[in-house]
Structure 1
């Protein structure tokens, strides 16, 4: 649950994602009405990749971002890292999975050398880690000078006339879909709860800057409940 801290929270999240790995992609499409595909492509555009880029996709899940990068940039070296073995197993079996290197690793304690990557990306990772600041510092460590960082994640609904509608979607529609499609309501109750307790888009941008990133920016999507953030390590 969202009140758990540190290792207890990490263990809870790991087991939860392991249970839903087989339906994770389908539920993402249903919950976002297919918009998550567009958001991932938009995130990738902000990374300014080239054919020879080395890219780390952290909290990669079943590899949506990693596989899209590999498809667009066949000569790039793409590493998909996730700490849930079941997610990695599903990702490896997806079309194009053999073109990506898969690693089971914790995003807070990366097994990668310093300054090894041209870009570090993540989709729906930061909301789930026990320590956002440390996770961003790890990403900064692994980037080469001038390398780019990017994140796609949910953000708390803002106070406006749309908030009741967004809360209905978060607290009623999403858990219903989770139970219907994956037989797992708990994981999709965790999602809205953790979203509402997560950093606002502005505060997350500030966390990027505090971790050492420059030229930090973000855009909101899906009526303000999705944030796409990016930044760059100093040259």
Structure 2
């Protein structure tokens, strides 16, 4: 699949205005629960700074800021249009926004107490590099938490999930956003993504320790977390 930054940026730019609505619909409203679990696993400090990479319109970043107003929260995303939508959201002006490539973050080493991302990993051309960058800007002892989709597991729900991904999502996406191609890419990128255990190996290869994950929605969603070693 074509995951060049200019391709991804253009696609998300076109769907930015309806992105939040489509997320609620596609996930049947469960995405808010997954994000709350991600934030819980981040073990946020009482003060300091947090980076939400691939922040989109700021779902995770805004929720973090609501939970801890003292924290400095930076939302970084490749797509200007997504940032523009995020800034207009309630509490969107209480976080800092930065247009940035997840493969080359514009932050100094050991800048953040925690780094989060939601639905980012499967949209970059080099996951290992992305996680190394996140680890670089993470303070020793800090947590990195990643939420993303997982390939459809082999169970009794698989035929129905595949039907949902390949037929219903593109149809609804076309009706609501007018972008059928974008909503063909999103389910296909899920189907062709790596399994949770493989993602554990990539995270460990990037340098994270104590890597664990939890699956949701019959195994179609996974939240991974780990920490940067203190030495």
TM-score, normalization: structure 2? 0.98
- Contact 2:41 2:225 survives alignment (8 Å): yes
Structure 1 unaligned runs (5+)?
Answer: none
CA distance in 2: counterparts of 1:210 and 1:218, whole angstroms: 16
2:12 and 2:82 in contact (8 A); partners too: yes
Q: Structure 1 runs of 4+ off > 6 angstroms?
A: none
1:66 equivalent to 2:61? Answer yes
Q: How far is the alpha carbon of 1:133 from its aligned partner?
A: 0.3
Matches for 1:96-115 after TM superposition, within 5 Å = 96-115=91-110
| Matched residue count | 230
Matched residue, 1:138 = 133
Question: Helix, strand or coil: the match of 2:219?
Answer: coil
Residue 115 of structure 2 aligns to a residue whose secondary structure is strand
The answer to whether the Cα contact below 8 Å between 1:59 and 1:123 also exists between their aligned partners in 2 is yes
Aligned-pair CA distance for 1:50: 2.3
2:213 alignment counterpart = 218
User: TM-score scaled by structure 1?
Assistant: 0.96
Residue 120 of structure 2: aligned partner: 125
Output the CA distance in 2 between the equivalents of 1:53 and 1:39: 24
Aligned to 1:41: 36
RMSD: 0.8
Aligned pairs (5 A) from 1:1-235: 2=1, 4=2, 9-235=4-230
Structure 2 gap ranges (5+):
none
Q: Secondary structure at the match of 2:82?
A: helix
Quote the Cα distance in structure 2 between the aligned partners of 1:142 and 1:202.
24
